[in-house]
Structure 1
């Protein structure tokens, strides 16, 4: 049987689970306090499909009949026992259901729970996640486990992310409705202390063209409680010959525009570091609110004049350059790297070696395939073994116009929070 560690993500097929057949999730607990376990069916933006798609003891079946709470025991217990069993049929869920989130909640701090286990069954037990009191701290809710689609494949993520405010706050977080008096109580416990000016206000003052992007980025940041995070942001741009069309059509400049709100939110300097690469890497300098507009056409004489050697792919070299840059810089805060490629990837060994070494550093790599193919090892890095931590993610899209800005931010930030949590736990970044 496979054990799912906190932060681990993998396709269900890795555990010999057939996503075309029903699966059962069994929640076994030993707890002196009452606790609730619920399942939320969410769309691609991370919002509850509607209130009927919150499956719990008082609403045990989803409207489609493919998510069922088949067993439930609400009372505390001094010995281990099964509290809940959910049966889900992933292949028969509607296309607008992008993920299922299984949530634990209580009216008192969860660290009073002695133990909790989640078993994933399909005829026999295929995988298991285990939690102890120390995993829950003082929160009254925890987003435990997620089943989600990625690239048409169902995957599992052991999220184990605490959430202040209890069940009502999570319902609000997912866009559901709660009673008015509960809403007021949730507001008291979930509203963070604002030590930074709002992203929207900064953009309105300094880059009004990006205000709408800032609003959409803020939604994703708030959902993941990242508004107050201090981090550095880097952008790495494929400038090989096959990318010419993306540069000419303004797609690369649009990437700059869309990532800048994240840099403004995270970085004290409200700027990001930018590299381009072909055979050779080139550091293009910082992109900030005063120079983002037209950066691709203007920086170092414009993209056609960048000093990159022959316009062929060499991902490993630029990855080494980025890593060395931040090692010299001090690695005092986490670093988020958005890496754009249209494929044609080579030197799989070199990339694997760099990523394995970089896993020991506080650097998270978000790879994005843009309008190409042949992404090779970049698609496989997310599940690569031999690293101290999973330090990357990958998604692809044919055209930026094919994806909404909201969905793009959701994809860009999908795995970053769980990496942050695990990186803190193993001491890569400070608490």
Structure 2
């Protein structure tokens, strides 16, 4: 088994990461260690990052916790997807939309965060989105499914691995639970990354079987890359 695992390769090589995003080398290596240890190195997935932009998240944007999570997910995705990008979306009461293009200004739910163009990207996007709101999961989940169903990954059968960050239980809990039940037959895995004290996210442990929880505590910056990756990769399918 060990010999077989060593032969499995990442979607993007360390050399390419070093050439485009040298500040992510340590995260990339830590992600590789977790993937190899769990025999998931060599697997492929379309990775999404969904970020809570409710009012209680303000301090986590200010202290860099959200940017760091984005960097960590981008580094993990480099092992799972060869395009060097992660579609990132923000939600609060509704799914936020980001307007792109100078002539045909088209609002979209996701924007790609790319290797080499990732530094400070979360703050830039966050600051462009205006007022923060409440906490409704379902609009964000519907946006993920729509994006995934329109993607090449969906057409070729690559699973979606959705990292869903939040710091509070949803105000639309029944609708969230119903939606997740409806996705159980689809090739999607929802991995929640709750920020904050454990008491509030008991709800996440009541969700259907296509979900997982990778808690990071009240100080996400204090959790090592290695610990986060060990918790995240447990939700991936085996390579």
Residue 305 of structure 1: aligned partner = 128
Alignment of 1:368-379 (within 5 A): 368-372=193-197, 374-379=200-205
Alignment of 1:15-414 (within 5 A): 164=1, 169=2, 187=3, 189-192=4-7, 194=9, 196=11, 198=13, 200-282=14-96, 283-299=109-125, 303-306=126-129, 311-329=133-151, 331=154, 332-372=157-197, 374-381=200-207, 384=208, 390-396=209-215, 397-414=217-234
| Cα-to-partner distance string for 1:117-146 (whole Å, 9 max, x where unaligned) | xxxxxxxxxxxxxxxxxxxxxxxxxxxxxx
Unpaired segments ≥5 residues, structure 1: 1-163, 170-186, 385-389, 422-431
Greater strand share, structure number? 1
Structure 2 CA distance, aligned partners of 1:355 and 1:238?
18
Structure 2 CA distance, aligned partners of 1:336 and 1:369?
16
**Paired residue total:** 222
TM-score, normalization: structure 1?
Answer: 0.48
Residue 131 of structure 1: aligned partner = none
Give the drift of 1:401: 3.0
Q: In terms of Rg, which structure is larger?
A: 1
Structure 2 CA distance, aligned partners of 1:195 and 1:306?
34
Mean alpha-carbon deviation: is it higher for 203-212 or for 398-407? 398-407
Unpaired segments ≥5 residues, structure 2: 97-108
Greater helix share, structure number? 2
Structure 2 CA distance, aligned partners of 1:196 and 1:379?
31
Structure 1 CA distance, aligned partners of 2:58 and 2:5?
46
Give the drift of 1:256: 0.6
Give the drift of 1:254: 0.6
Structure 1 CA distance, aligned partners of 2:123 and 2:32?
28
| Cα-to-partner distance string for 1:240-298 (whole Å, 9 max, x where unaligned) | 00000100111100111111111112112111111100111132400111321111122
Structure 1 CA distance, aligned partners of 2:161 and 2:10?
21
Say what the alpha-carbon RMSD is for the aligned residues.
2.1
Give the drift of 1:310: 5.7
Give the drift of 1:197: 5.0
Structure 1 CA distance, aligned partners of 2:17 and 2:36?
17
Structure 2 CA distance, aligned partners of 1:195 and 1:313?
35
- Greater relative contact order, per chain length (Cα 8 Å cut-off, separation 6+): 2
- 2:53, 2:132 within 8 Å by CA — same for their partners in 1? no
